[in-house]
Chain A
Amino acid sequence: MQRRTFIKKTAATSALISLSGVSLTSFTTTKERKITILHTNDVHSHIDPFPDNHPRNPAMGGVARRANLIEKIRKEETNVLLLDAGDIFQGTPYFNYYGGELEFKLMSMMKYDLATMGNHDFDNGIDGFYAQLPHANFEFVSANYDFKNTKLDGIVKPYKVFIKEGIKIGVFGLGVQLEGLVDKNLYKETIYNNPIEIATDITKQLKETEKCDLIICLSHLGFDYKNEADKPSDIKLAALTQDIDLIIGGHTHTFLDKPIIKTNKAGKQVVVNQVGAYGINLGRIDFYLSDDSKYISQEKNIIVQ
């Protein structure tokens, strides 16, 4: 009897607490939230900075510097997501000697939240990738690679939903066609599905079932293929789908001066970004969200610099 009353009271109290926390304040003020997305792609085992006398990228990049930059941003912002768009592996002896162990350990130290798989992440085979996963404190997503007949079944999921200050952020992954690019002995029974079709299904699921406020695609498809009309790319993905807010790309090592804005199938704007390669740049996209009614009929502003 006493217990029943207590439970009821507790429920009511917590309802009151949550009311004063959320609904009550909404009578007077609106709720503003900011989500900061930081991203890299095609780092290719570039753990050390380029040498000072490097002809193209002197003294650029390096994990120790990136870590400090990220730490600085984390001190300034509450809701940070740190993402990677694939090809973490291959490019320096660190990979040849340690098979990706150090790359994953350092990304874990920097508190990466999520990554997708690039073609080079298969360079030591599905088994080699799987063997390094214990060193990663973050997960991998890929929606169009079907891993059901491989070791990665159930490990690499299609998407992951993050909740930051009540904002639901759905992040899904897309990978490039492996046939002709990666040896079959390495990717084994991984099935590549059409990324545009998969993206259409996944975004619907993230929007309607998961009720995501933001949808981000981590893509290793490549930015744009002007001479290959049928080849899926980030530019095509942006134009042929809807409800994606941000496409973070990789694979083509495209050094964009700034993020670009494309119009999607529904006439809405999508931000597409890719930050070259080798950890030379860190991409940063800030989303400002509000439940203020004044924004209802207004198209969002996008400022890229």
Chain B
Amino acid sequence: MTFKSKNTNSLYTIFVTTLTLLSVLSCKTNATRTYLIEGKKIEVNASYEKNQAIESFILPYREHINNDLDSVLSFSPETLDKSKGEWQSNIGNFMADACMELANPVFLKQQNKSIDIVLLNSGGIRSIIPKGNITKRNAFEVMPFENSLIVVALKGEQIKAMAQHIITEKKPHPLNGLKIVINKDNQIIKILFKEEVINPSKTYYVATSDYLANGGDNMTFFLKNEGVFDLNYKIRNVLIDYFYKYKTIEPSNLQRIIKE
């Protein structure tokens, strides 16, 4: 490596310094500014080829999910559909009964108390379960959301408000544990829990989804409560566990709302 003499180097430095000053002085120091913006949306449609590296990266994940979702867990002798039935549906009965059966031991273990009533909403049932083999995919289609079960402690007074809501809405909400007797004009005659009339000052434990427990779907009667207990049990997992437990799904046709 060779070096220039010190003298040459100083001259060189002066030259550069002068040049720098010159450039600063003679050129206007213009700020960089945006003079044009172009904006658009590009549709990601079938005209674009699939990136093969990405596609083959996804493949094992997709296959694993599909294999798991499509493995047969149970069987349904008939199509379960929320639009079948005025006050209750076969799919609603199945869901409410499954939640009662599988969530009660969880609540018992957690709080040493029993669930008295289950109420879900018809709107939360997102699909039918067609007649035939039942797979995990059916559970995902019926319950695509991550809602989990919450137990809400309600006074009998609020249970009355709940019954009134069900009758007023006239939707086949999944219900277990409660019997609502109405007359031909859809007026409530009596509300029964284990064949006894609801006691306004007694506390009942109602299992529902976290969404409804927070007053979703206009179920505001849940908001005036005596306490809430999170079961950390997703409703979809209740369904999947129930499918594992029973080789055939035969919903009870026990009447929960009785018209006299």
Q: Which residues from chain B contact A273 at a C-beta distance below 8 Å?
A: 39, 41
- Binary contact track A93-112/B, C-beta < 8 Å → 1, others 0: 11011100010011001100
A30 to B255, CA, bound (A): 82
Residue of A nearest to B232 (CB): A185
Q: Which residues from chain B contact A69 at a C-beta distance below 8 Å?
A: 42, 44, 48
**Interface size counted on chain A using CB atoms at 8 A:** 83
CB distance from A143 to the nearest CB of B (A): 22
A266 within 8 Å of B (CB atoms): no
Residues 2-29 (chain B) with a chain A CB within 8 angstroms? 3-4, 6, 9, 12-13, 16, 19-20, 23-24, 26-28
Contact among A105, A183, A245 with B34 in the assembled complex (CB-CB below 8 Å): A245
CB-based contact B54/A67 at 8 Å = yes
- Binary contact track B205-249/A, C-beta < 8 Å → 1, others 0: 000001000100000000000000010000000000000000000
- Which of B36, B39, B140 counts the most chain A CB atoms within 10 A? B39
Residues 81-128 (chain A) with a chain B CB within 8 angstroms? 90, 93-94, 96-98, 102, 105-106, 109-110, 123
Instruction: Classify chain B: how many residues form its interface, as a range.
Output: 35 or more
CB-based contact A93/B35 at 8 Å = no
A102 to B230, CA, bound (A): 29
CB-based contact B37/A301 at 8 Å = yes
Residue of A nearest to B58 (CB): A47
B30 within 8 Å of A (CB atoms): yes
CB distance from A196 to the nearest CB of B (A): 23
- Binary contact track A262-305/B, C-beta < 8 Å → 1, others 0: 00000000010101000111111111111111011010111111
- Binary contact track A15-43/B, C-beta < 8 Å → 1, others 0: 11001000110110011010000000000
Contact among A60, A110, A295 with B35 in the assembled complex (CB-CB below 8 Å): A295
Query: Knowing A69-B42, A109-B54, A281-B42 touch, does A303 contact B65 (C-beta < 8 A)?
Result: no
Query: Knowing A5-B6, A26-B27 touch, does A284 contact B57 (C-beta < 8 A)?
Result: no
Q: Which residues from chain B contact A189 at a C-beta distance below 8 Å?
A: none
- Binary contact track A26-70/B, C-beta < 8 Å → 1, others 0: 110011010000000000000111000000000111111111110
A259 within 8 Å of B (CB atoms): yes
Q: Which residues from chain B contact A102 at a C-beta distance below 8 Å?
A: 58, 61
Contact among A9, A65, A304 with B49 in the assembled complex (CB-CB below 8 Å): A65
CB-based contact A259/B40 at 8 Å = yes
A23 to B19, CA, bound (A): 10
- Which of B6, B13, B41, B57 counts the most chain A CB atoms within 10 A? B41
B195 within 8 Å of A (CB atoms): no
CB distance from A30 to the nearest CB of B (A): 8
A98 to B49, CA, bound (A): 26
Contact among B40, B62, B230 with A284 in the assembled complex (CB-CB below 8 Å): B40
CB-based contact B19/A290 at 8 Å = no
B78 within 8 Å of A (CB atoms): no
CB-based contact B6/A287 at 8 Å = no
A24 to B13, CA, bound (A): 17
Q: Which residues from chain A contact B210 at a C-beta distance below 8 Å?
A: 183
CB-based contact B30/A5 at 8 Å = no
Q: Which residues from chain B contact A292 at a C-beta distance below 8 Å?
A: 30, 35
A148 within 8 Å of B (CB atoms): no
CB distance from A92 to the nearest CB of B (A): 9
Q: Which residues from chain B contact A109 at a C-beta distance below 8 Å?
A: 53-54, 57
CB-based contact A290/B35 at 8 Å = yes
CB distance from A226 to the nearest CB of B (A): 22
CB distance from A249 to the nearest CB of B (A): 13
CB-based contact B16/A288 at 8 Å = no
Q: Which of B's residues lie within 8 Å of A, judged by CB?
A: 3-4, 6, 9, 12-13, 16, 19-20, 23-24, 26-28, 30-46, 48-55, 57-58, 61-62, 64-65, 68-69, 140, 146, 210, 214, 230
- Shortest Cβ-Cβ A-B pairs, 8 listed: A259-B39, A64-B50, A67-B51, A288-B36, A23-B23, A65-B48, A291-B30, A64-B55
Q: Which of A's residues lie within 8 Å of B, judged by CB?
A: 2, 5-6, 8-9, 12, 15-16, 19, 23-24, 26-27, 30-31, 33, 47-49, 59-69, 71, 90, 93-94, 96-98, 102, 105-106, 109-110, 123, 166-167, 180, 183, 185, 213-214, 245-246, 256-259, 271, 273, 275, 279-293, 295-296, 298, 300-305
